[in-house]
Amino acid sequence: MAAVKRLKRVAALQPGFISFKWSAESDDLNSGRRKRVNKNKKKNWNKHSDIQDVEEFLDDVRLQERTTGLCFLCLLEVQERKKGKKSKSRPLRIDLILQHDSLVPPPKDVLAYQQPNAKKLRRIAENAEKLAAMGVLPRRQKLLLNRRPATKTSKAKTAANNFPDRPYYDLWGGEGKFETADPYYLEQTGKSCVKRPEKLNVKPSILPAVEVIAPGGSYNPDFFSHQALLLEAHEVEVMRERAELRIERQLAVKQEDTATEETVFEELVEGLVEEEEEEEEEEEDVSIRGGLQQEKKTEKERKRERADKIKSQQKQAARVFTDKKQQLFQLRSIQATLKRREQRTRERVAQRKANQEAEKSMPRRLGRLKFQAQDLEIQLSDEIPGSLRTLKPEGSVLKDRFKSMQKRNMIEPRERAKFKRRHKVKYVEKRAFREIT
Amino acid sequence: MGGLQKKKYERGSATNYITRNKARKKLQLSLADFRRLCILKGIYPHEPKHKKKVNKGSTAPRTFYLFKDIRFLLHEPIVRKFREYKVFVRKLRKAYGKAEWTGVERLRDNKPGYKLDHIIKERYPTFIDALRDIDDALSMCFLFSTFARTGKCHVQTITLCRRLTVEWMNYVVTSRSLRKVFLSIKGIYYQAEVLGQLITWLVPYQFAHDHPTDVDYRVMATFTEMYTTLFGFINFRLYQTLNLVYPPKPVLDGTLSVEMFSCAQQKLSALSASLARVVATAEEEENQLDLFPTEGEDQENMQAREKEQKEQEAQKRLFEGLKFFLNREVPRESLAFILRCFGAEVSWDKSLCIGGTYEVTDETITHQIVDRPDMDKQYINRYYIQPQWVFDSVNAQMRLPVEDYFLGTTLPPHLSPFVEEKDGDYVPPEKLKLMALQRGEKPVQEDDEEEEEEDDEEEEEEDEEEDDVDDEELTEEKNLKKMEGTRAQGKTLAVKVTPGKVKPWETGSVGNKVRLEQEEKAEEKRLAIMMMKKKEKYLYDKIMFGKKRTTREVSLTIGVKNGESPKGDKYS
């Protein structure tokens, strides 16, 4: 119990301790004592320090400087300088007290200068110097010097692929290092490379890499070939126009369908006239009566139906039989129809093959976008230059190469990525505008 | 019972394909990295035959890859490098954010990089495979080397592309492999024959162009990365076949022995210096190939081959011995390349570029290429011609008469050498003239006079037309029609004149032989036609009918004169 209880160190915290300070002061309103502030913090320097007198003094000095061009402090300094040595600041008294004023020098501490084996060490050092001067080195140093210089095993800095002076070597000439080794050994040690699948060596398209432009695209073309090229471009434009017109035609509204006053009136009036209602009622009765009549079938009718069915079946069988007999005599025409059919199938097969061949030279659909062929590069008759100097090149080779690669199925058709915003931009009025409205 | 049922979309084509996003997740790469990887490894998306099956019933347009291809990608070592790079970027950003500059430097020093050599070796196991695919690489490298060196794409890539293209052009010059050139409005098309492969590439004009916005630069840059690696290795191998030093060095004269690398590089790009060889050989000697007839070949074929080879050799020396000077306004690089490919000496003004060996004032210059309407100071013993002469001569494989290309004359049209006309197709009259020239006929003098008269007429008409400004379009069309009419007239006039002209195959033993040969061939053809079966003959008749119809149409359009039937209006 006594261990649990701890002595309260602070007297003020003992029970029954009456603090006198605060209660006394709190009663008195005009204590006159300032609140204790911690002036160690920078924040409180500005708040709780009174520098009014200093400010006044400085203002005074500035005023004097402004008016007279000199301040009295400067004048004081000047006076002191003129006085000379006497104005030199005297040493402080405390410094004077702390100086040594006895004439007895302090004793030297011999122990501080003593070194065990000093002589021996001195002798060794001198010998070593003499030997070094002659060229004989101690064993340690010899070993150090004989050591090979530490080859900086810096990772071979693989230079970037495209630095301009990169060296080339004979890639196909030298013997492969692994041609003579055992394949099992190579495989197990991970030195052999995986074989490239055969399908990858096939080119993705039969088109040539560089397609030369038609002869009408020469910078000084022959008349007819230029006209032929213009015709081609013209046809492309005609197709485009036709496509646009087709869409317009599909969206077009017939003139007759537009609402006129008459039709509007008719619509409004529909259902309001009484005669029409009666007609509707009659029609309903008729349909109901018709439905009621057909409900019950009599026995007679059923028998008749059965007989009719049998008869028609018999008739059909007879007809089939005679048909089969007659087919003997129709052999020639049957053959003719068969021949026609076969010819049709043959034609279709040929057409399908031709289509397949044509498809090989067409670009394949490889992605989301369809391949858009680029516009033919042509120059109109009045743009054709007379000489090489006045030629303005048409089209961009960069775009041409890009499209050619798409055409040859090497990359999928790409378009420029659009900038999509994830979140809508919130419209916030400027403060100035908010005040106006 | 329930466990053994066959479920849909569990086998067959549905499991052979995988969508792009699934593949990306399987490889644990971002979309940009996945795209880059596919481009580098040469893995392309496929369109399955039955989309609904593969897409598990839906018809949404998706990108599909073969599953085996993606599984193959998993073994690729650069996938690891991509992930390391991602981590590197993250660390760098953190270091920047914390303003730890030593850390930033250290990270930058240890930036992860990757090499593409093994990929190239895997994609193109032999050199010839790589050579077949070089068209694309060439066009891309030439394109990138014309880009402006702003920071938009790595300047290093542009420099590397420029270096590779210069090396290639020097190789073509040294091996004299250029065959065809075509100037189009897009750019210049070249075709060269290297080690038996026909290689076509497109070079854009050097003028500044705006870059289109809908081209993905990252994709193009990745392609270029792969192609520059491939191209460099091919260049090395090609230089090896010619015993040239790689990286190439221009043959330095004594005066220029103390040159820095950049100067040497510029000199190479000027295309006027010849390359240094590994084994210093004398001038190339003519290789007389031993004539061994191969099994089954007759003497005739061998002779034909010999003739071809001789023609090729002659073509390679098309401009040999001529000295050219390029004026300032002509495209210097293209012309220098072509002229040097055929053995000429070229020079230009010193202010244009380094490497000009002689000046304008040199007396031994034989041709000067000018593109202005007229030159004030003219030397007597040289021809002043427009640049089209060079291109047309290369395509015609002979030196065309210079008169058509003088300054101020309207040039003949520049025909495309890549067009092969079959029998009965329309052949432009200029091409007919060219073929005649090649055969050895000389153009009739009267033709030139007629053309001059026509030129005068045209000038008069032009003066008249300048007066009325309202009907400009109509007059232009009329002018065009008239020009074509006169051109057509010119041709028909030529036909009218030729009866009086001496035909080469009617006189002389050479002419007789040619005629006899032709007669023999015609006889053989007739015999073969008689011997055909009925069915085959029927087909043959159909084909000939179709051909004759096209020729008839073609001759009709040529024979259009002013004010004739509207059939000709199809083309105007």
Query: Of B239, B237, B241, whose CA–CA distance to B120 is shortest?
Result: B237
Mind giving me the DSSP string for A389-433?
TT----S-HHHHHHHHHHHTTSS----PPP---SSPPPP---HHH
Asked if ipTM goes beyond 0.90, one says no
As a whole number of Å, the CA-based R_g of chain A is 58
What is the pLDDT at residue B246?
Answer: 85
- Side-by-side strand order, sheet with B178-183: B178-183, B187-194, B197-204
pTM, entire model: 0.67
Q: What angle do CA A61, A66, A71 make, to 5 degrees?
A: 40
Asked if A215's CB is within 8 angstroms of B419's CB, the reply is: yes
pLDDT band at A182 (very low <50, low <70, confident <90, very high): confident
Query: Which residue did the predictor score with more confidence, A76 or B251?
Result: A76
Report the SS3 class of residue A386: coil
CA pair distance A273, A269, nearest whole angstrom: 7
What is the pLDDT at residue B374?
Answer: 80
Residue type, B451: E
Share of chain B above pLDDT 90, in %: 34
| Residue range A96-120, pLDDT digits in tens | 888 888 889 888 888 888 888 999 9
**Alpha-carbon gap: B220 to the closest alpha carbon of chain A (Å):** 8
Selected for mutation to probe chain A from B184, B206, B430 (highest A CB count within 10 Å) is B184
Share of chain A above pLDDT 70, in %: 81
Asked if A212's CB is within 8 angstroms of B200's CB, the reply is: yes
User: Between A157, A204, A396, which is nearest B212 by CB?
Assistant: A396
CA pair distance A272, A276, nearest whole angstrom: 8
**Alpha-carbon gap: B492 to the closest alpha carbon of chain A (Å):** 17
| Residue range B388-436, pLDDT digits in tens | 999 999 999 888 888 888 888 888 889 899 988 766 667 777 777 778 8
> 């329309």: which residue's tokens?
B426
| B231, closest residue in chain A (CA to CA) | A168
Chain centroid to Cα A75, Å, comes to: 73
pLDDT band at B5 (very low <50, low <70, confident <90, very high): confident
| Residue range A348-362, pLDDT digits in tens | 999 999 998 888 888
CA pair distance B266, A152, nearest whole angstrom: 37
What is the pLDDT at residue B456?
Answer: 43
What is the pLDDT at residue A354?
Answer: 94
Asked if B185's CB is within 8 angstroms of A217's CB, the reply is: yes
Asked if A199's CB is within 8 angstroms of B414's CB, the reply is: no
Chain centroid to Cα B173, Å, comes to: 15
User: Which range, A273-282, B79-88, B499-508, B528-537, is most confident?
Assistant: B79-88
Q: Hey, how many other C-beta atoms are within 10 angstroms of the C-beta on A412?
A: 21
| Residue range A43-54, pLDDT digits in tens | 888 888 888 999
**Alpha-carbon gap: B483 to the closest alpha carbon of chain A (Å):** 10
| H/E element, B56 | none
CA separation (Å) from B319 to A17, A408, B223, B270, B414? 124, 39, 37, 19, 19
CA pair distance A402, A413, nearest whole angstrom: 9
What is the pLDDT at residue B220?
Answer: 94
What is the pLDDT at residue B283?
Answer: 40
Residue type, B151: G
Question: Taking residues B304-329, what's their average pLDDT?
Answer: 85
Which residues from chain A sit within 8 angstroms of residue B386, using beta carbons?
A: 387-388
What is the pLDDT at residue B496?
Answer: 40
| Residue range B35-81, pLDDT digits in tens | 999 999 999 999 998 889 888 888 889 999 999 999 999 999 999 99
Query: Which residue did the predictor score with more confidence, B89 or B278?
Result: B89
| Residue range B483-533, pLDDT digits in tens | 555 555 544 433 344 455 455 554 556 667 888 888 988 888 888 888 888
| Residue range B255-274, pLDDT digits in tens | 444 444 556 667 677 776 67
What is the pLDDT at residue B457?
Answer: 41
Q: Rounded to the nearest 10 degrees, how much is the dihedral formed by the CA atoms of B169, B175, B180, B183?
A: 20
Which residues from chain A sit within 8 angstroms of residue B332, using beta carbons?
A: none
Half-sphere exposure of A75 (CA within 13 A, CB side): 8
| Residue range A251-264, pLDDT digits in tens | 888 877 777 888 88
Question: Taking residues A415-422, what's their average pLDDT?
Answer: 88
Question: Taking residues A314-334, what's their average pLDDT?
Answer: 93
Query: Of B456, B429, B454, whose CA–CA distance to B443 is shortest?
Result: B429
CA pair distance A356, A330, nearest whole angstrom: 39
Q: Which residues, including other chains, have CB under 8 Å from residue B423's CB and lie 6 or more apart?
A: B547
Size of interface A-B (CB pairs under 8 A): 243
| Residue range A290-303, pLDDT digits in tens | 555 566 778 999 99
Between helices B31-41 and B20-27, what is the axis angle to 10°?
Answer: 90
Question: Taking residues B290-310, what's their average pLDDT?
Answer: 70
| Residue range A64-79, pLDDT digits in tens | 888 887 777 778 877 8
Asked if A160's CB is within 8 angstroms of B212's CB, the reply is: no
What is the pLDDT at residue A125?
Answer: 93
> 């066009």: which residue's tokens?
B139
| Residue range B115-154, pLDDT digits in tens | 999 999 999 999 999 999 999 999 999 999 998 888 778 8
Q: Which two tokens stand for residue B206?
A: 């050097």
| A234, closest residue in chain B (CA to CA) | B571
